[in-house]
Amino acid sequence: MMTITLFQRDIVWADPAANQQAAERQMAAAPKSDLYLLPEMWSTGFATQPEGIAESGESSLQWMKRMAQQLDAAIAGSIATEIDGRYYNRFYFVKPTGEVTHYDKRHLFTYGGEHRRYTAGTEKVIVSWRGVRFLLQVCYDLRFPIFARNAAQGEEAYDVALYVASWPTSRREPWDLLLRARAIENQAYVCGVNRIGQDPACTYNGGTCFIDAYGHTLQACPDGKESFITCTLEMEKLNAFRQKFPVLGDRDQSV
């Protein structure tokens, strides 16, 4: 069995060092896990104006590599990243070997102006870790089910969808409903990690949760509190459900 710890936390605005230290304290208090999952733009807060805030060096990525090696686990979460003058909302999945896989957020949040300064990704990214396949998704991606569509087999198939977010309190109900929908329609576990606290634009009250392929919320963090949950993936149970009720084999093949 695989264990995943989801961190619901406040984020210090535009201060990677402070956020690294806070995340490290949470990890030290958490049970031993195979994967530790942080929110969207966990090192700075959700910055639609990234100049002077996005990380042009590799401070937080190097911290993720160090922690992954130290904990013998994968560390994942998105970072506001600047590369050659372009900005990306980049979801890093870092393994203890130092191997890094990344996904650039495909659906930029136009309502908040994210599209004006960030470059959208084009590729769907699935990463394998200790026998489990993970789909990497960021916040607003949750509203677009075709992009997250699962497959019964092949390169498009995954077991767990990871959603990292800075999803505001004012739109909390869609967050709760859509996470369950993505789990049900894709016959997959869903891990949703959302922040708490406040930034210059919004307030956040969490909603971090772990959902099974039936759409049942198995664990959840308390609203508005910095906390974590450690979840166990039961792959035999998931595979048995897929074999008994083979929905994924009937997906629209043109999608």
CA distances in angstroms from 26 to 120, 193, 226, listed in the order given: 31, 14, 9
Q: Among candidates 219, 217, 175, which has minimal Cα distance to 196?
A: 175
| 105 catalytically annotated | yes
| 139 catalytically annotated | yes
| 221 catalytically annotated | no
**Measured between alpha carbons, how far is 85 from 74 in angstroms, rounded to an integer?**
28
Q: Of these residues, 95, 105, 114, 221, which one is catalytic?
A: 105
Only one residue has tokens 């605005």, namely: 13
Dihedral angle of Cα 35, 231, 6, 31, to the nearest 10 degrees: -70
Only one residue has tokens 């990306």, namely: 88
Q: Of these residues, 65, 95, 114, 139, which one is catalytic?
A: 139
Q: Among candidates 100, 91, 202, which has minimal Cα distance to 138?
A: 91
Dihedral angle of Cα 174, 180, 184, 186, to the nearest 10 degrees: 70
Residues serving a catalytic function are: 40, 105, 139
